[in-house]
């Protein structure tokens, strides 16, 4: 049986036990509280997800960390937004709060943060795929800065992953295995990722007024303008290959998506990991999700 | 302060692997007293050997500048540069910026809109972006890394166009580009099918340069949102 572990997004403390019972091995979450929202809005500044994808107050953060510890799972907090000088102090305070609550790790992309967070060790430091670590020198760079884990970029082929991971056998490597395939190299994408809201019809009576610099309700993802998003991809058939490429943790996307979506994804991945389905996974995918599957790591890799 | 814009022979491409693959043969044909600028894309594993060849050749040049676009290659070239008369530049892909021209739209008044939020109808009313957010948008990430970058021997950082006026550069030399980074399409090794079409975004032109998606201010008014936008900031001359 494949030994790859699965890490899943959690949107609320009440989901932790359910995810554990469904077989999640680790969790990751986001955080966006009122103070941050007041200063920076609700778009992709603290991390690359908005709105419901984030826990919204210290109480929820504390509960999530506590539930994760009770369930025997490591929970990581995502602080992988683009960092400038003005927000580092607040990011450090959030990380310290997470550590005090018993959180297991931080996911980041900015190279200044590991040193600023050295005092919250032994919390794990994971380098986000937004840092675009594509070679062994990058692995060495982040290891020197204090990172424990690296999430490999989505666009690396399995052969490229193996070349990267073999340079550091003591490092833990993650790769995406379901959902959230950005058609661009998202670590280099400068497109606005704004909060999305469905328009209310003329008959709707607003219960509140909210001030914002983007009243359109649109996300303005660049890939949408190019008509690029496609059905969520899946790496269920590739779990064994990923393991042989040095990937220890399969990351499931979908921060902000309903729990039932994430649970169905997890169920399918666990089936694949158990190898009970043989080569029947595409059929099982079609029956479960109602459309053809799309491979996260097609055979032909990136030029190199 | 802008980097001294010495005339250099520019080789390579910031995101296209082919630019790196072709570089050794190009370098072989160039006289060693010609100042050169090598643009290095993110170096995936099977390009690492080519990078080493390029660095070996660049070591023979009297005046070489290397622009890198991933952290690992920055680290490698930082080591290579020690004891050499060479220039190391943090490339535009590595210097994170909120460069989307849509930000200019957010800075200008917009009409109210009623939307669904958490099951309730909420009226979104425009207010200027908070000062902290504007400061975040205006500051490239490299600026707060100035100390680390100087320790690594970085001589300058590239900044592309961005929606808001650039903040003070914290003592770093800045090479200003006359276009902005929008995104990068992962290379699939299919040069014939590389790139894509051109679009307009917030009145600006968005276009592909191989697999690198760039934006620049549209020439003349095109009537699409120009009335909403503040005037484009005028900067000093810059490198393409």
Here the ipTM equals 0.94
CA–CA dist B238, B143 (Å, integer) = 18
Structure tokens at A117: 């967070």
Distance from CA of B12 to the nearest CA of A (A): 15
**Are B110 and A211 in contact (CB < 8 Å)?**
no
- Dihedral sign for Cα B41, B47, B49, B53, please: negative
E strands, chain A, where?
5-9, 26-31, 54-55, 74-78, 105-108, 124-127, 149-151, 172-178, 208-212, 249-252
Average pLDDT over residues B130-134: 94
Q: Can you give the three-state secondary structure of A99-133, one letter per residue?
A: HHCCCCEEEECCCCHHHHCHHHCCCEEEECHHHCC
Q: What pLDDT is stored for residue B236 in this prediction?
A: 35
Pick the range with the lowest mean pLDDT from A289-293, B36-40, B58-62.
A289-293
Q: What pLDDT is stored for residue B234 in this prediction?
A: 38
**Angle of helix A58-70 relative to helix A88-100, nearest 10 degrees?**
40
Q: Is residue B2 part of a domain?
A: no
> Domains, chain A, ranges and CATH?
5-180+214-289 (3.20.20.380)
Choose the mutation target among B42, B68, B177 for the interface with A, i.e. most A CBs under 10 Å.
Answer: B42
pLDDT digits (tens, 9 = 90+) for B199-234: 999 999 999 999 999 999 987 544 343 433 434 443
Q: Is residue B1 part of a domain?
A: no
Q: What domain range is B180 assigned to?
A: 9-228
Q: How confident is the model at residue A193 (pLDDT cuts 50, 70, 90)?
A: confident
Chain A CB within 8 Å of residue B1 CB: no
Average pLDDT, chain B: 88
Cβ-based burial of B9 (10 A; exposed 0-12, middle 13-18, buried ≥19)? middle
Chain A CB within 8 Å of residue B18 CB: yes
The percentage of chain B sitting over the pLDDT mark of 90, rounded to a whole number, equals 77
Contact A216, B113 (CB under 8 A): yes
pLDDT digits (tens, 9 = 90+) for A129-149: 999 999 999 999 999 999 999
Sheet holding B204-209, edge to edge: B180-184, B212-217, B204-209, B199-201
Contact A153, A80 (CB under 8 A): no
CA–CA dist B15, A276 (Å, integer) = 42
DSSP per-residue string spanning A241-280: HHHHTT--EEEE--TTS-HHHHHHHHHHHHHHHHT-STT-
Pick the range with the lowest mean pLDDT from A102-111, A226-235, B51-60, B202-211.
A226-235
Chain B CB within 8 Å of residue A169 CB: no
- Which residues face B122 on adjacent strands? A208, B115
| Domains of chain B: total | 1
Q: Is residue B236 part of a domain?
A: no
Chain B CB within 8 Å of residue A1 CB: no
Average pLDDT over residues A168-190: 92
Q: What pLDDT is stored for residue A2 in this prediction?
A: 65
Pick the range with the lowest mean pLDDT from A106-110, B122-126, B184-188.
B184-188
pLDDT digits (tens, 9 = 90+) for A203-226: 999 999 999 999 998 888 888 888
Quick one: which of A8, A304, A272 has its CA closest to A156?
A: A304
Residues of B in contact with A223 (CB under 8 A): 183
**Are B143 and A190 in contact (CB < 8 Å)?**
no
Q: What pLDDT is stored for residue B229 in this prediction?
A: 41
Residue with tokens 């690594």: B152
DSSP code at position A215: -
Q: Is residue B135 part of a domain?
A: yes
Q: Is residue B233 part of a domain?
A: no
Chain B CB within 8 Å of residue A141 CB: yes
Q: What pLDDT is stored for residue A31 in this prediction?
A: 96
Q: What pLDDT is stored for residue B117 in this prediction?
A: 86
Backbone phi, then psi, for A250, in 5-degree steps?
Answer: -95, 125
Q: Is residue B81 part of a domain?
A: yes
Q: How confident is the model at residue A278 (pLDDT cuts 50, 70, 90)?
A: low
**Are A303 and B189 in contact (CB < 8 Å)?**
yes
What residue of A is the nearest CA neighbor of B77? A137
Choose the mutation target among B102, B114, B138, B201 for the interface with A, i.e. most A CBs under 10 Å.
Answer: B114
């Amino acid at each position: 049986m494949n030994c790859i572990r699965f890490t899943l997004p959690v949107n609320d403390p009440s989901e932790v036990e359910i995810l554990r019972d469904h077989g999640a091995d680790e969790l990751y979450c986001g955080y966006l509280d009122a103070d941050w929202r007041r200063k920076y809005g609700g778009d992709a500044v603290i991390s690359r997800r908005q709105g419901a994808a984030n826990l919204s107050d210290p109480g929820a953060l504390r509960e999530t960390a506590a539930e994760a510890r009770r369930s025997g799972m490591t929970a990581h907090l995502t602080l992988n937004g683009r960092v400038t000088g003005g927000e580092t102090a607040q990011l450090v305070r959030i990380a310290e709060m997470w550590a005090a609550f018993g959180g297991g790790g931080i996911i980041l992309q900015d190279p200044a943060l590991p040193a600023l967070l050295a005092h919250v060790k032994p919390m794990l430091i994971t380098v986000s795929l937004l840092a675009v670590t594509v070679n062994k020198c990058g692995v060495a760079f982040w290891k020197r800065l204090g990172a424990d884990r690296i999430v490999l970029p989505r666009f690396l082929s399995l052969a490229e992953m193996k070349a990267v991971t073999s340079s550091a056998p003591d490092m833990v490597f993650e790769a995406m295995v379901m959902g959230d395939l950005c058609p661009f190299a998202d670590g280099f994408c400068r497109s606005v990722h704004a909060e999305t809201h469905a328009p209310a019809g003329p008959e709707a009576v607003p219960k509140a007024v909210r001030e914002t610099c983007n009243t359109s309700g649109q996300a303005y993802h660049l890939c949408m303008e190019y008509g690029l998003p496609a059905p969520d991809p899946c790496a269920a058939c590739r779990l064994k290959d990923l393991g042989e490429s040095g990937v220890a943790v399969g990351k499931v996307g979908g921060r902000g998506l309903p729990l039932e979506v994430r649970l169905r994804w997890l169920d399918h991945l666990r089936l694949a990991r158990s190898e009970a389905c043989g080569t029947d996974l595409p059929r099982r995918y079609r029956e479960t999700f109602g459309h053809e599957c799309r491979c996260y790591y097609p055979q032909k890799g990136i030029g190199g | 302060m802008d980097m001294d814009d010495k005339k250099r022979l520019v080789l390579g491409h910031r995101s296209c692997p082919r630019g790196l693959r072709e570089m050794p043969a190009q370098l072989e044909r160039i006289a060693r007293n010609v100042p050169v600028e090598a643009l290095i894309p993110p170096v995936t594993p099977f390009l690492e050997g080519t990078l080493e060849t390029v660095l070996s050749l660049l070591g023979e040049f009297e005046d070489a500048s290397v622009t890198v676009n991933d952290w690992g290659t920055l680290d490698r070239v930082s080591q290579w540069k020690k004891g050499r008369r060479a220039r190391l530049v943090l490339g535009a892909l590595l210097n994170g910026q909120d460069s989307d021209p849509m930000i200019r739209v957010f800075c200008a008044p917009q009409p109210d809109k009623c939307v669904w939020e958490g099951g309730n109808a909420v009226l979104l009313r425009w207010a200027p972006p908070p000062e902290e957010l504007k400061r975040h948008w205006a500051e490239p990430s490299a600026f707060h890394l100035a100390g680390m970058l100087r320790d690594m021997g970085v001589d300058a950082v590239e900044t592309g166009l961005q929606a808001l006026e650039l903040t003070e550069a914290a003592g770093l030399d800045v090479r200003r580009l006359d276009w902005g980074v929008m995104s990068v399409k992962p290379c699939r090794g299919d040069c014939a099918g590389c790139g894509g079409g051109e679009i307009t975004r917030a009145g600006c032109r968005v276009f592909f340069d191989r697999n690198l998606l760039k934006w620049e201010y549209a020439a003349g008014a095109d009537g699409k949102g120009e009335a909403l936008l503040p005037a484009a900031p005028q900067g000093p001359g810059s490198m393409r």
